[in-house]
Structure 1
């Protein structure tokens, strides 16, 4: 698709510069561009850059040429990363004395956010930023016939003891395991970074007769494992910096950037941009109703439409802001650019916290009233955040639709890579046909690329992550809410799933009274925190929300819930003839066959 402008008359420029600091959407989606005021020469160009080489970001192009870095360079090259571009170079940032002027495209996006409902705002964030993490189920079940239903297949929860997870720190993914067969952690020598927790989910196999691409256990290089670790890191964290919490994985991304760029483009239609100091995987949207909401990086509170609007408004000003920006000046510029978008302090604080977590902003003021506090702005990262521009979209709904457009093969593979399970019944006819035709080869290619395991069932396909790392939500998981949700879903499955001989056609309705009764039993039988004991409504809301986000239940227009087939994999045991319960909402005893009833009457 042609590169488009955010606003008529604005100069077109990729999100970044010809030194690799570029951005854009993936193949089949609109390239991300920023509308830049003309200032003598087009932004994004340098005196020695030539048209076509620096700004050609047509689909499939590879704009991420990096200085002193090739596909086969030794990434001890992290110690030789180029110096950051000096302030006031070819980018021509605004100086401290100039008034901040907002980017028109991002300003338009801010208004769309402000007018959206909460669900639509989440969809719009997914479509315009594409910074959501992948989400996968774990705990694989025993192998089974691919034609068997999830309702009647082997379970994962009954045969698998929930694994205790390490305490998560601010560093995110666990570092690679350092056993005898694991890849050693490579630290970036460019900037100090804290270790991540990313690792390959399965153990590396013994390497007798290994191919030329690997070495023995004492060697330092295992390219296949490195590539998989880098790919998983990018899919879990689409924006990785050389000084951020996942800095340990950044040298691997730089080392294998050409291979990763080709594979992400071929399999998923995503553009990967690797610069000297950051890597950006530009994901596509997931379509209406399939959003990943943005959350406060510290509290986990979901963003509101007003919070999203403040985020887009701040970005609109930061893409051209000076590196040192007084906090009060930013607030004044936001009010002047869109006085009708004034929001509560909590919404503004949430937006700035997200920008700080992406390293677009440095340290934030401890006192929101401290207008003299000087913010450190990284314009390069600010320009890397947008992934889908509203250039051609008529409104928010049109942008959400456009961002998810893709050919059937690419669209299905994106769902497999990003979502817990793909059910054929949820797909349009063309995508369902592709999945039926490539039921084995399609998921297998992604599973090999990302180190996942394929689970085929009659209703669809799930790519599983036994390490529970390539996901932002885990089940089984630690914490009261995850444990309560697991107990809830396993008991709901016991009560309502179809039995052998019964028709198993997709989702099964759940009575609200049954949900309340099961949660009451769980509350009585297990020691829950005081706030859940005092507020059963909060427990219900949070547990159902978690199961919904994992794709195990889905709401109906009448505000009731449906249990989805993949939920049956969490049944506690493969007992398809449970003893009838005694509660009001328990499954009634199976009536005796007609012959037995006739004998009883005689």
Structure 2
């Protein structure tokens, strides 16, 4: 079952818009369809554990068509996303412009969308990890994530553990005045007379311990430069690649949002983009006059991309997700100008048990911030108590947010499973396009067989489509982005946490990687004491921010979390960690020609080459 098949309810009509534009269905659907509210749907749902279906949502498919020609200079598109619109057009007139319930009156009660209301309850009852999976499956607004640095050529039969390193050292910059410091990265702690004596375990006053590894000289990481503008015949291909990368990094792009500069490229090449996303990834791309929406599939259990506050970066909690789905359920048919107090009243009326949750007082603020970041809402009230504040609602964007409303799912687990279902070729290509590395050991047998058979042609097609580089190793494949643009997390990266995590993974690889000739089945266990020791070295040798100096537990938590999200380590059921083969890309580069020392016990320069 493809991604869009589960997003439609029992009542099916042609997807259309009040302005006469006809929408398209995703790959795998037989016609352009839109699940609409039925008479029985206002108070009914699908009982958990049953397979019964009701018309659960009015926004299962985005209704903006790729064939729109509102802006001058663009020709109409007839790609796969709009190919089936004509056959079901007559049914739209029977339903009307706004669905079975009609438009919301400016002063009337807001009616929640039943499918999104059910989704809100699923979020509220989920564990944090399941809520992240559910968000990925139902909204599909996550960005792609790839490791930086160029691919290292090597024998595809060689393990990452024993292959060439792509080492980019995380070296601290010169220490600056603490008063003017920003979080630009680690700095080497100064070891001058004022800092002595320094007491470390196993060391004398003022001297490093004799069993301590010598400090390495590290160079500043090179930041990716601007890609030169192509010319001549290369321009269309470069524009298409830029547009494809933008959509994969930001699945909802608007003509007035932060990525508005790329929107004309999406419009210009929409026919080609629609076909390529459908063929390679099974994703439905909808391009209208004011926004473009790439409807991504889910990633399955345990592979979620958590939603974070757009300003603070705080991860969403189940309560935050529940408030988000509840608010969205009311906004899909809300008037354009909506008093904030009216929205709060409608949320309390639609789901009193959710709106009254006090366990997470920041949940509502986080939900509204995410909606504003997606431009579903305009400006937000400075004070959440200001109920007279008038919100500006974009219903078209509100309806574009859900990629997989739970019209056919029995429960949260069923929705997560359905959202990730695909044929082996499509499923593996999705993982290659969205995740840092794909290891054969992590795949089911049918997908592993496809990757083995197409390990050259499959990744190469995606690499050409997205401007990535292929790195093949015995354990699997990684698509790398030397520009470090097609990712929400960067490694190597700037900032204290990214550089501390890089130092940590360097040390872990150096300590536990299997030696050539040693048998390994993939992941390698990491002792907790080793993690703590390496982080202690990092804290000792670098001028960390005060929050990490005062709380080593926070440093450990955040550094391990970053490495886990990048697929370089993975937890075990016993709360220990395993180092994954792609981490060996960051093995410290061996210093084969060290600079001669100047101390009286140093080896003479003439002997270095002997």
Q: TM-score range by the shorter chain?
A: 0.7 to 0.9
Q: 2:319, 2:14 → 1: CA distance?
A: 28
Q: 1:162, 1:4 → 2: CA distance?
A: 50
Q: 1:200, 1:542 → 2: CA distance?
A: 28
Q: 2:30, 2:306 → 1: CA distance?
A: 21
Report whether the alignment pairs 1:326 with 2:335: no
Q: 2:7, 2:487 → 1: CA distance?
A: 34
Residue 66 of structure 1: aligned partner: 68
Q: Deviation digits for residues 456-510 of structure 1, max 9, x if unmatched?
A: 0110000000010000000011111101100000000000000011012200000
Match of 2:578, SS state, is: strand
> In 2 relative to 1, CA 58–248 (structure 1 residues): closer, same or farther, beyond 3 Å?
closer
Q: Deviation digits for residues 528-549 of structure 1, max 9, x if unmatched?
A: 0111011010000000000000
Q: Deviation digits for residues 179-210 of structure 1, max 9, x if unmatched?
A: xxxxxxxxxxxxxxxxxxxx9986567x7xx7
Report whether the alignment pairs 1:153 with 2:163: yes
> In 2 relative to 1, CA 11–408 (structure 1 residues): closer, same or farther, beyond 3 Å?
closer
Report whether the alignment pairs 1:522 with 2:538: yes
Per the TM alignment, residue 391 of structure 1 is displaced from its structure 2 partner at its CA by 1.2
Q: Deviation digits for residues 26-62 of structure 1, max 9, x if unmatched?
A: 6589999554367xxxxxxxxxxxxxxxx9x999x99
Residue 579 of structure 1: aligned partner: none
TM-score by length of 1: 0.77
Residue 180 of structure 1: aligned partner: none
The residue correspondences of 1:151-190 to structure 2 (distance < 5 A) are 151-158=161-168
Report whether the alignment pairs 1:142 with 2:141: no
Aligned residues of 1:151 and 1:504 also touching (Cα < 8 A): no
Report whether the alignment pairs 1:267 with 2:280: yes
Aligned residues of 2:6 and 2:409 also touching (Cα < 8 A): no
Q: Deviation digits for residues 381-423 of structure 1, max 9, x if unmatched?
A: 0000000121111110000000000000000000000000000
Q: 2:139, 2:32 → 1: CA distance?
A: 12
* Structure 1 gap ranges (5+): 39-54, 75-88, 164-198, 216-221, 577-602
Residue 413 of structure 1: aligned partner: 429
Residue 256 of structure 1: aligned partner: 269
Q: Deviation digits for residues 523-566 of structure 1, max 9, x if unmatched?
A: 00111011101101000000000000000000000000000000
> In 2 relative to 1, CA 162–386 (structure 1 residues): closer, same or farther, beyond 3 Å?
farther
Partner residue of 2:459 out of 438, 443, 453? 443
Residue 484 of structure 1: aligned partner: 500
Report whether the alignment pairs 1:237 with 2:238: no
Partner residue of 1:375 out of 376, 387, 391? 391
Report whether the alignment pairs 1:113 with 2:123: yes
Residue 195 of structure 1: aligned partner: none
Per the TM alignment, residue 148 of structure 1 is displaced from its structure 2 partner at its CA by 1.0
Aligned residues of 1:150 and 1:457 also touching (Cα < 8 A): yes
Q: 2:24, 2:341 → 1: CA distance?
A: 29
Per the TM alignment, residue 145 of structure 1 is displaced from its structure 2 partner at its CA by 1.0
Aligned residues of 1:421 and 1:566 also touching (Cα < 8 A): yes
Per the TM alignment, residue 95 of structure 1 is displaced from its structure 2 partner at its CA by 1.8
Partner residue of 1:311 out of 318, 321, 324? 324
Q: 1:373, 1:121 → 2: CA distance?
A: 30
Match of 2:547, SS state, is: helix
Report whether the alignment pairs 1:295 with 2:308: yes
Aligned residues of 2:165 and 2:588 also touching (Cα < 8 A): yes
Q: 2:33, 2:543 → 1: CA distance?
A: 50
* Structure 2 gap ranges (5+): 40-57, 77-95, 174-223, 593-610
> Once structures 1 and 2 are overlaid, which stretch shifts more, 353-362 or 144-153?
144-153
* Cα RMSD for the two superposed structures: 3.2
Moved >4 Å (runs of 4+): 1-8, 10-34, 68-74, 158-163, 199-205
Residue 168 of structure 1: aligned partner: none
Match of 1:325, SS state, is: strand
Q: 2:353, 2:13 → 1: CA distance?
A: 28
Residue 582 of structure 1: aligned partner: none
Match of 1:119, SS state, is: helix
Aligned residues of 1:136 and 1:420 also touching (Cα < 8 A): yes
Aligned residues of 2:156 and 2:474 also touching (Cα < 8 A): yes
Residue 37 of structure 2: aligned partner: 36
Q: 2:134, 2:33 → 1: CA distance?
A: 15
> In 2 relative to 1, CA 365–26 (structure 1 residues): closer, same or farther, beyond 3 Å?
farther
Aligned residues of 1:468 and 1:474 also touching (Cα < 8 A): yes
Give aligned pairs, total.
498
Residue 343 of structure 1: aligned partner: 357
Per the TM alignment, residue 67 of structure 1 is displaced from its structure 2 partner at its CA by 2.1
Aligned residues of 1:127 and 1:285 also touching (Cα < 8 A): yes
Aligned residues of 1:23 and 1:282 also touching (Cα < 8 A): no
